[in-house]
Amino acid sequence: MSYFIINGGKKLHGSIKVNPCKNSAVAILCASSMIKGETTVINVPAIEEIKRIIEVLTSIGLKITWQKEHGLKIINDGKIKPENINYKSFAKTRSGLLLLGSLCAIKTNFSLPKTGGCKLGKRTVNPHILALEHMGIKIKETANSYIVAKEHPVGAEFVMYESGDTATENAIMAASLIKGKTIIHFASSNYMVRDLCYFLKKAGAKINGLNSFKITVEGVKKLEPVKDYPIMPDPIEAMTLISIAVTTKSNLKIIGCPIDFLRLELEKLRVMGQKLNISAAYKSANNFFDLVDIEIIPSKLIALPDKIYGSPYPGLNMDNLPLFLPILTQADGQTLVHDWTYENRAIYYTELNRLGADIMLHDPHRVTVSGPIKLKPAEIICPPALRPSINLLTCMLAASGKSILRNAYPIDRGYENIVGRLNGAGADILRIDE
Per-residue pLDDT at 98: 95
Specify whether 250 is located in the same domain as 209.
Answer: no
d(CA 34, CA 217): 16
Q: Is the peptide bond before 233 cis (omega within 30 degrees of 0)?
A: no
**Measuring CA to CA, how many Å separate 290 from each of 257, 258, 280, 340, 397?**
8, 6, 10, 30, 30
Query: What is each CA distance from 24 to 45, 219, 231, 239, 427, in whole angstroms?
Result: 10, 22, 7, 16, 29
**Which stretches in the chain have pLDDT values below 70?**
116-123
Beta bridge partners of 302: 332
Angle at Cα 271 formed by Cα 241 and Cα 10, nearest 5°?
35
Q: Of 180, 213, 230, which residue is a domain's last?
A: 230
Closest CA to 175 of 183, 166, 167: 183
Q: Tell whether 410 and 264 lie within a shared domain.
A: yes
Instruction: Convert the pLDDT of each residue in 31-66 to its tens digit.
Output: 999 999 999 999 999 999 999 999 999 999 999 999
Name the pairing type of β-strands 109-113 and 145-150.
antiparallel
| Nearest in space to 157 (alpha carbons), one of 146, 142, 171 | 171
Q: Do 142 and 253 belong together in one domain?
A: no
CA dihedral 196, 212, 136, 179 (to 10 degrees): -70
Residue 202 sits in the same domain as residue 250: no
According to DSSP, the residues that pair with 173 across neighbouring strands are: none
End-to-end CA distance of the chain: 5
CATH number of the domain bearing residue 52: 3.65.10.10
Number of separate domains in the chain:
2
Which of 198, 230, 262 lies at the terminal end of a domain, its last residue? Answer: 230
Side by side, the strands of the sheet bearing 181-185 are 157-159, 181-185, 214-218, 206-208
Rounded CA separation 48/70 (Å): 14
The pLDDT of residue 116 is 57
* pLDDT at residue 122, as a whole number: 52
In angstroms and rounded to an integer, the radius of gyration of the C-alpha atoms of the chain is 21
Of 230, 252, 274, which marks where a domain is finished? Answer: 230
Mean pLDDT of the chain: 95
| Dist. CA 312–CA 216, nearest whole Å | 19
Are 219 and 238 in the same domain?
no
Question: Containing domain of residue 214, as a range?
Answer: 22-230
The rounded Cα 239 to chain-centroid distance in angstroms is 11
| CA pseudo-torsion sign 409, 410, 413, 415 | negative
Q: Is 273 left (phi over 0), alpha (psi -120 to 50) or beta?
A: left
| pLDDT value of residue 123 | 55
Q: Are 390 and 345 in contact (CB under 8 A)?
A: no
Q: Distance of CA 266 to CAs 85, 199, 336, Å?
A: 42, 28, 18
Reference 385, options 420, 354, 341; nearest CA is: 341
Same domain, 142 and 180: yes
What's the pLDDT at 202? 98
Same structural domain for residues 367 and 256?
Answer: yes
The verdict on 96 and 191 lying in the same domain is yes
- Residues 110 and 238 grouped into a single domain: no
- Concatenated DSSP letters of 118-168: S--S----HHHHHHHHHTTEEEEE-SSEEEEEE-S----EEE-SS--HHHH
402-423 b/e (C-beta count within 10 Å ≥ 16 → b) = bbbbebbebbbbbbbebbeebe
Cα–Cα distance measured from residue 251 to residue 236, given in angstroms and rounded to the nearest whole number: 20
My answer on whether 123 and 243 are in the same domain is no
CA 224 to CA 60: how far, in whole Å?
20
Contact 155, 175 (CB under 8 A): yes
Give the DSSP H or E segment for 6: strand 2-8
Whether 127 and 160 have beta carbons less than 8 Å apart is answered as yes
Please name the helix (run of DSSP H) or strand (run of DSSP E) that holds residue 178, with its range, or none.
Answer: none
Within this chain, do residues 161 and 45 fall inside the same structural domain, yes or no?
Answer: yes
pLDDT of residue 150: 87
- 216 in the same domain as 86: yes
Residue 105: its pLDDT value, please?
87
Q: If DSSP codes are grouped into helix, strand and coil, which group holds residue 49? A: helix
